[in-house]
């Protein structure tokens, strides 16, 4: 997803932070060699395929949930894990996985490619992943992409869509100059020029709305927002995600990004097994539990891992 920001309350975020402080271990030995695994890997020096795997996440609920699923699936296969959740945006996370401070991140392939190469024209999952293989440094790699896709969208209220006959992003051209647009703090720097170049859109004002974008659309603080397609508030708040005929956002499959030196074949297999089971409908249902029902992300992850035979 851009790495992505999802709507949720501060209470839930606090719960996710609490989860991130727990370092879990289910084995004291390297799953490949049988040697003692020791403690957390030092920054920049991940153990070569058999030490502690450091699972990180961005600072929004869906990414915390996905990271918790990765963590629990790894632990179920005897991999020693340290969790470092709610770290920040992609701009911060990418440097940490590149230097080895983190070993595994839940990523969104199209958003990651956009970060690495803003001019890429890759659209399909296969093309995006092939482009990523060329753009990533030799120390990093992506594992199997899941069918689950959580895309950025430009979203408006149902009333705004009806009033201005808005169905696609292109339809915003006549009204953009009167509209305020909201999203995470980094959304403007990532996308403003792209919307101008591709759709000819210049908005009246860009407002940082972080994880309250859906709420800001509901109360009229903004007229257009970067809401993500697995956010259950799209339905509960009567919001409309506009079609993107020129593929500004592209595919955004949930995909593990790894520091190759820190993942063993056992870890790789565990993460690929998660990707094989995770789909968009399932992820949306999980996010309903987190965002609407206020269930703890770690508990939701545990239930999913068990239900899918991965734990």
DSSP the chain: --S------HHHHHHHHHHHT----S-SB-TTT-SB--SPPBTTB--SSSS-EEEEEESSHHHHHHHHHHHHHHHHTT--EEEEEEEE-HHHHHHHHHTTS-SEEEEEHHHHHHHH-TT----SHHHHHHHHHHHS-TTEEE-PPPS-B----EEEEHHHHHHHT--BGGGGGGTGGG-EEEE-TTHHHHHHHHHHHHH----SEEEE-GGGHHHHHHHTS-SEEE--TT-THHHHTTEEEPB-TT-SS---BEEEEEEGGG--HHHHHHHHHHHHH--HHHHHHHHHHHHTS---HHHHHHHHHHHTT--
Bigger pLDDT: 227 vs 35: 227
Confidence of residue 306 (pLDDT cuts 50, 70, 90): very high
Of the candidates 168, 86, 294, 289, the one whose C-alpha atom is nearest the C-alpha of residue 303 is 289
Confidence of residue 29 (pLDDT cuts 50, 70, 90): very low
Q: Among residues of the chain, what percentage have pLDDT more than 90? A: 73
pLDDT value, residue 79: 98
pLDDT value, residue 50: 60
Of the candidates 90, 254, 240, the one whose C-alpha atom is nearest the C-alpha of residue 160 is 240
pLDDT value, residue 211: 73
Range with the poorest average pLDDT among 16-20, 51-55, 171-175, 186-190: 16-20
Q: What is the pLDDT of residues 55-95, one digit of tens each?
A: 999 999 999 999 999 999 999 999 999 999 999 999 999 99
Q: Among residues of the chain, what percentage have pLDDT more than 70? A: 84
What domains, with CATH codes, occur in the chain? 10-149+251-307 (3.40.190.10), 154-241 (3.40.190.120)
**Mean of the pLDDT values across residues 160-180?**
97
pLDDT at residue 3 is higher than 80 = no
How far apart CA 73 and CA 281 sit, in angstroms, is: 20
pLDDT at residue 227 is higher than 90 = yes
Confidence of residue 262 (pLDDT cuts 50, 70, 90): very high
Bigger pLDDT: 111 vs 22: 111
pLDDT value, residue 156: 98
pTM for this prediction? 0.73
pLDDT at residue 267 is higher than 50 = yes
pLDDT at residue 28 is higher than 60 = no
pLDDT at residue 1 is higher than 90 = no
pLDDT value, residue 310: 97
Q: What is the pLDDT of residues 141-155, one digit of tens each?
A: 999 999 999 988 999
Confidence of residue 172 (pLDDT cuts 50, 70, 90): very high
Average pLDDT along the chain: 86
pLDDT value, residue 13: 36
Bigger pLDDT: 16 vs 185: 185
**Mean of the pLDDT values across residues 148-172?**
96
Bigger pLDDT: 13 vs 104: 104
**Mean of the pLDDT values across residues 102-106?**
98
């Amino acid at each position: 997803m851009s790495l992505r920001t999802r709507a949720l309350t501060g209470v839930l975020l606090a719960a996710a932070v609490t989860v991130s402080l727990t370092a879990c271990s289910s084995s004291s030995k390297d799953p490949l060699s049988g040697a003692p695994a020791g403690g957390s890997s030092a920054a920049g020096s991940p153990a070569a395929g058999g030490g502690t795997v450091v699972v990180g996440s961005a600072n929004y609920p869906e990414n915390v949930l996905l990271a918790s699923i990765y963590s629990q699936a790894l632990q179920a296969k005897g991999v020693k894990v340290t969790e470092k959740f709610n770290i920040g945006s992609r701009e911060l996370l990418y440097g940490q996985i590149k230097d080895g401070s983190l070993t595994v991140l839940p990523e969104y392939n199209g958003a990651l490619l956009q970060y690495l190469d803003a001019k890429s024209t890759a659209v399909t999952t296969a093309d995006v992943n092939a482009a990523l293989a060329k753009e990533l440094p030799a120390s990093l790699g992506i594992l199997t992409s899941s069918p689950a896709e959580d895309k950025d969208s430009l979203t408006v209220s149902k009333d705004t869509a009806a009033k201005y006959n808005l169905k696609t992003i292109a339809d915003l051209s006549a009204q953009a100059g009167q509209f305020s647009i909201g999203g995470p703090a980094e959304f403007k720097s990532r996308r403003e020029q792209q919307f101008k170049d591709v759709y000819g859109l210049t908005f009246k004002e860009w407002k940082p709305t972080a994880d309250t974008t859906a709420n800001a659309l509901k109360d009229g603080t903004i007229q257009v927002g970067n809401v993500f397609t697995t956010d259950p508030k799209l339905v509960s708040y009567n919001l409309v995600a506009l079609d993107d005929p020129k593929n500004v956002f592209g595919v955004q499959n949930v995909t593990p990004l790894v520091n190759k030196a820190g993942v063993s074949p056992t870890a790789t297999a565990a993460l690929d097994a998660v990707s094989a089971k995770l789909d968009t409908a399932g992820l949306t249902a999980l996010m309903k539990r987190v965002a609407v029902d206020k269930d703890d992300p770690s508990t939701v992850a545990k239930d999913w891992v068990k239900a899918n035979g991965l734990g």
